């Protein structure tokens, strides 16, 4: 465990190496590593994304998340995330949806006083989701993790070299 509370479970050598640095440096190194790993997933998701207008593919981006001071993560998402804004309909393709407009059916049923509207709404055909983001994540899980770990290791080495140069300069003066 580093002095600032970062814990890398299952990667003890990284945890020990990062404990030597300041919190700001650790955050920079880890964030860069996570972003590189997420970029791999984003590229696969881009290949799997449904293409009708190309808008979903264009709006895929990486959102680095920080739940609290100790937990970092990443998320590949469409548009503003949580299927909001102009990219709302991409969520239908990802998770599935009922065909047809519920509002028109409800108005028809109310005019003709035919049965319970809610039970008839459930009769609309269900179109199963493609789950392309989930498949992209599963397909790249191990590879993205390895890329992130390698990038963090490279960042640690780069920072150690930088600190060694700085110490050598200070010793020379």
**pTM score of the predicted model:** 0.70
b/e sequence 154-173, b meaning 16+ C-beta within 10 Å: ebbeebeeeeeeeeeeeeee
CB under 8 A, 24+ apart: contacts of 16-22: 17/153, 17/156, 18/152, 18/156, 21/156, 21/159
pLDDT tens figures, 57-108:
777 878 777 767 666 677 777 766 655 666 677 777 778 877 766 666 666 6
Measured CA to CA, the distance from residue 159 to residue 29 in angstroms comes to 9
Supply the DSSP symbol for 85.
G
The radius of gyration of the chain from alpha carbons, rounded to an integer in Å, stands at 24
pLDDT tens figures, 11-46:
777 777 778 888 888 888 888 888 898 898 889 988
């Amino acid at each position: 465990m580093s002095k600032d509370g970062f814990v890398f479970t299952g990667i003890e050598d990284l945890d020990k190496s990062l404990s030597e640095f300041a919190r700001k440096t650790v955050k920079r190194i880890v964030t860069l590593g996570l972003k590189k790993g997420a970029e791999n997933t984003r590229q696969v998701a881009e290949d799997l994304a449904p293409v009708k207008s190309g808008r979903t593919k264009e709006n895929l981006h990486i959102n680095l998340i920080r739940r609290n001071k100790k937990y970092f993560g990443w998320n590949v998402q469409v548009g503003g995330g949580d299927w909001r804004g102009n990219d709302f309909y991409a969520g239908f393709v990802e998770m599935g949806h009922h065909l047809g407009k519920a509002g028109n059916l409800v108005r028809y049923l109310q005019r003709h006083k035919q049965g319970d509207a809610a039970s008839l709404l459930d009769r609309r055909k269900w179109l199963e989701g493609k789950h392309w983001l989930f498949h992209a994540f599963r397909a790249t899980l191990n590879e993205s993790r390895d890329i992130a770990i390698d990038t963090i290791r490279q960042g640690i080495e780069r920072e150690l070299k930088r600190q060694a140069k700085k110490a050598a300069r200070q010793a020379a003066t």
